[in-house]
């Protein structure tokens, strides 16, 4: 980035402050250089935050240590914290500022069940057998946002810039369990613009339909009557039969559903033992579609089939919505502003050890070999994507249909790793994750300054949302007023696992990095394992 003299910066800020002055296309470049330096000063703190949250590895709705850790940092830095928002114990908002545009800054914090992984090791090696882990890198997003917010706050105070910052965590994103409830609770009612961060292997952003489907998560429960399965089975009414029958009927119906739909299920309760006719059984379904109307139709078909299964087996059925996600739409003006800052920041400077470790992970796990990216990715547009769908879902969509929102993908992981798998955790407490999070924080901090110094950017973002995004579709969440967040999910698992997992919590006072605490030689890991794979 270019260097600016103090006189030039003062002149630029004076121009910004003039009443009636034309709106800037973006914040003065000198301010951006200053905020990037402020983020760079947090390089060590970013590493500590990324490593510490990786070590907590808490699954959805059980992010207790993670939430305590983040709110502690934010409170120490002058943010006002509200805990337990939307009835979710691990959710919070942390706000700073009293005047000016309100900018929401969020990222997910939950881990995944069964993907515990020792970082800096290129082969599958759990820290705790069968325990949760960060198999999608959700340990890095909030550190990025915290660093960006603290840097922006520092520059805003120094130069008298008005703006309000609100940080918030995506709780239980892997269950799509929180953001629709946040919206319903009014968390974003006075927000002017929203920036969201998600780990990726490239550095970019996008606008328009991002190819992430809408989804509803629902658990069906059937109730029947017990009986001796051999002595008098005719006296029983098998709830398990109903659950299995719904599975069969749904699979027959698939042939006659649009190819855009995705649906999958697991039986969460199939009874106690074979010689007792199960009087209770449950099956958990994810239904996904590309738009609100199609998703509602798919959900209604699922409900009809659940009732048909109950009728056929002499049982009754009830359902509980566990989560929801709206289709994802990125805001064009915000994406273009963010992308300009991504280009200014550029990619991390990868070391030979970083590249060697990335190759080792790919070779050892039979993944396509591809080096860590050297250039930022292109701005993702509808034309570039060509209507391609990613199939998956993210409940940031609910925020996207509420306030103008953009998502930054930052380069903190290795190309071609399998998300929701241990390979996606191997680099997430290594220099690869630390460097990728750092550049992401710089781009976000610069965009915050664009938003607080450029009223026209917020005006344009709101106009695009109103005139383009909301032209043909309106936000249509499938959660009813009686549906509540599934805050008991994963509680039993963590009660069992946490005593063992906490032995591996990172102690930054005793160790310079989590890898050193674990005795991992990062450079040797990449060198030895990549050589072994040739």
Q: Does residue 21 have a pLDDT over 80?
A: no
Measured between alpha carbons, how far is 31 from 162 in angstroms, rounded to an integer? 14
pLDDT in tens, 151-190: 999 999 999 999 999 999 999 999 999 999 999 999 999 9
Residue 246: name the closest of 280, 217, 282 by CA.
Answer: 282
Interval 442-459 mean pLDDT? 98
- List, in order, residues 6 or more apart from 443 with CB less than 8 Å away: 203, 338, 341, 342, 344, 345, 408, 410
pLDDT in tens, 85-121: 999 999 999 999 999 999 999 999 999 999 999 999 9
Q: Does residue 27 have a pLDDT over 90?
A: no
Q: Which residue has the tokens 């009830």?
A: 318
Using a 10 angstrom Cβ sphere, with 0-12 exposed, 13-18 middle and 19 or more buried, the burial of residue 281 is buried
Q: Are the C-beta atoms of 214 and 292 separated by less than 8 Å? A: yes
Q: Does residue 16 have a pLDDT over 50?
A: no
pLDDT for res 388: 73
Interval 357-384 mean pLDDT? 97
Dihedral of the alpha carbons of 446, 450, 451, 453, in degrees to the nearest 10: 130
Interval 8-29 mean pLDDT? 50
**The two structure tokens encoding residue 330:** 């990125």
Q: pTM value?
A: 0.93
pLDDT for res 525: 82
pLDDT for res 23: 40
Q: Is the C-alpha dihedral spanning 158, 164, 169, 170 positive or negative?
A: negative
Interval 376-385 mean pLDDT? 94
pLDDT for res 528: 65
CB-based burial, 465-485: b 16+ in 10 Å, e otherwise: beeebeeeeeeebbbeeebeb
Q: Rg of the Cα trace of the chain? A: 24
pLDDT for res 12: 45
pLDDT for res 529: 54
Residue 408: name the closest of 173, 198, 112, 132 by CA.
Answer: 198
Query: Which run of H or E residues covers position 480?
Result: none
Q: Does residue 219 have a pLDDT over 90?
A: yes
pLDDT for res 532: 44
Q: How confident is the model at residue 25 (pLDDT cuts 50, 70, 90)?
A: low
Q: Any idea what DSSP says for residue 335?
A: H
pLDDT for res 198: 98
pLDDT in tens, 292-335: 999 999 999 999 999 999 999 999 999 999 999 999 999 999 99
Q: Does residue 533 have a pLDDT over 70?
A: no
Q: How confident is the model at residue 134 (pLDDT cuts 50, 70, 90)?
A: very high
Q: Are the C-beta atoms of 388 and 212 separated by less than 8 Å? A: no
Residue 396: name the closest of 83, 102, 144, 108 by CA.
Answer: 108
Q: Does residue 22 have a pLDDT over 50?
A: no
Q: Is the C-alpha dihedral spanning 513, 517, 519, 525 positive or negative?
A: negative
Q: Does residue 7 have a pLDDT over 50?
A: no
Q: Does residue 203 have a pLDDT over 70?
A: yes
pLDDT in tens, 251-271: 999 999 999 999 999 999 999
DSSP-based three-state secondary structure for 177: coil
Q: Does residue 17 have a pLDDT over 80?
A: no
Percent of the chain beyond pLDDT 90? 91
pLDDT for res 19: 36
What is the average pLDDT value for the chain, to the nearest integer?
Answer: 94
CB-based burial, 168-191: b 16+ in 10 Å, e otherwise: bbbbbbbbbbbbbbbbbeebbeeb
Domains of the chain, each with CATH number or no CATH: 6-211+327-474 (3.40.630.10), 214-323 (3.30.70.360), 505-532 (no CATH)
Interval 226-249 mean pLDDT? 98
Q: Are the C-beta atoms of 442 and 39 separated by less than 8 Å? A: yes
- Other beta carbons within 10 angstroms of residue 255's beta carbon come to 6
End-to-end CA distance of the chain: give it in Å, rounded.
Answer: 39
Return the axis-axis angle of helices 64-76 and 43-56, rounded to nearest 10°. Answer: 160
Q: How confident is the model at residue 242 (pLDDT cuts 50, 70, 90)?
A: very high
Highest mean pLDDT among 27-31, 321-325, 387-391: 321-325
pLDDT in tens, 458-488: 999 999 999 999 999 999 999 999 999 999 9
pLDDT for res 14: 42
């Amino acid at each position: 980035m270019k260097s600016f003299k103090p006189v030039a910066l003062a002149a630029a800020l004076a121009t910004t402050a003039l009443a009636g002055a034309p709106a800037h296309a973006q914040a003065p470049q000198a301010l951006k250089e200053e905020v990037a330096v402020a983020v760079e000063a947090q390089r060590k703190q970013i590493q500590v935050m990324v490593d510490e949250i990786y070590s907590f590895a808490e699954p959805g709705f059980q992010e207790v240590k993670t939430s305590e850790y983040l709110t502690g940092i934010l409170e120490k830095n002058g943010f006002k914290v509200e805990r337990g928002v939307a009835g979710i114990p691990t959710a919070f908002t942390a706000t700073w500022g009293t005047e000016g545009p309100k900018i929401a800054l969020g990222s997910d914090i939950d881990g995944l069940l069964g993907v515990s992984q020792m970082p800096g090791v290129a082969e599958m090696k759990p820290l705790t057998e069968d325990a949760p882990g960060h198999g999608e890198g959700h340990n890095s997003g909030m550190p990025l946002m915290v660093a960006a917010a603290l840097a922006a706050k520092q520059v805003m105070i120094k130069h008298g810039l008005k703006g309000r910052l609100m940080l918030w965590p995506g709780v239980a994103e892997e269950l799509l369990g929180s953001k629709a409830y946040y919206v319903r609770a009014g968390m974003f009612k006075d927000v002017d613009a929203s920036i969201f961060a998600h780990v990726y292997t490239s550095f970019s952003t996008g606008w328009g339909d991002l190819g992430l489907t809408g989804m509803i998560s629902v658990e069906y429960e059937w109730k029947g009557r017990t009986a001796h399965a051999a002595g008098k089975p005719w006296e029983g009414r098998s709830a398990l039969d109903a659950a299995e029958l719904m599975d069969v009927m749904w699979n027959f119906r698939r042939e006659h559903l649009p190819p855009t739909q995705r649906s999958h299920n697991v039986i969460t309760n199939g009874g106690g033992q074979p010689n007792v006719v199960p009087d209770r059984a449950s099956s958990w379904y994810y239904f996904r579609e590309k738009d609100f109307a199609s998703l509602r139709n798919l959900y209604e078909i699922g409900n009809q089939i659940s009732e048909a299964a109950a009728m056929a087996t002499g049982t009754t059925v009830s359902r509980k919505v566990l989560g929801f996600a709206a289709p994802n739409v990125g805001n064009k003006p915000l994406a273009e502003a963010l992308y300009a800052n991504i280009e200014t920041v550029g990619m991390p400077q990868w070391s030979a050890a970083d590249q060697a470790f990335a190759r080792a992970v790919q070779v050892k796990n039979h993944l396509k070999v591809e080096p860590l990216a050297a250039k930022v990715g292109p701005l993702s547009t509808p034309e570039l994507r060509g209507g391609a769908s990613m199939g998956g879902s993210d409940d940031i969509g609910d925020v996207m249909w509420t306030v103008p929102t953009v998502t930054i993908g930052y380069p903190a992981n290795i190309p071609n790793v399998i998300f929701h798998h241990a390979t996606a955790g191997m680099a997430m407490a290594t220099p690869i994750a630390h460097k990728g999070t750092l550049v992401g924080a710089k781009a976000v901090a610069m965009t915050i300054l664009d938003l607080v110094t450029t009223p026209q950017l917020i005006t344009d973002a709101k106009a695009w949302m109103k005139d383009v995004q909301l032209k043909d579709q309106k936000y249509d969440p499938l959660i009813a007023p009686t549906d509540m967040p599934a805050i008991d999910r994963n509680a039993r698992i963590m009660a069992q696992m946490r005593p063992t997992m906490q032995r591996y919590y990172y102690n930054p006072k005793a160790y310079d990095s989590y890898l050193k605490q674990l005795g991992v030689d990062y450079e040797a890991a990449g060198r030895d394992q990549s050589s072994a794979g040739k």
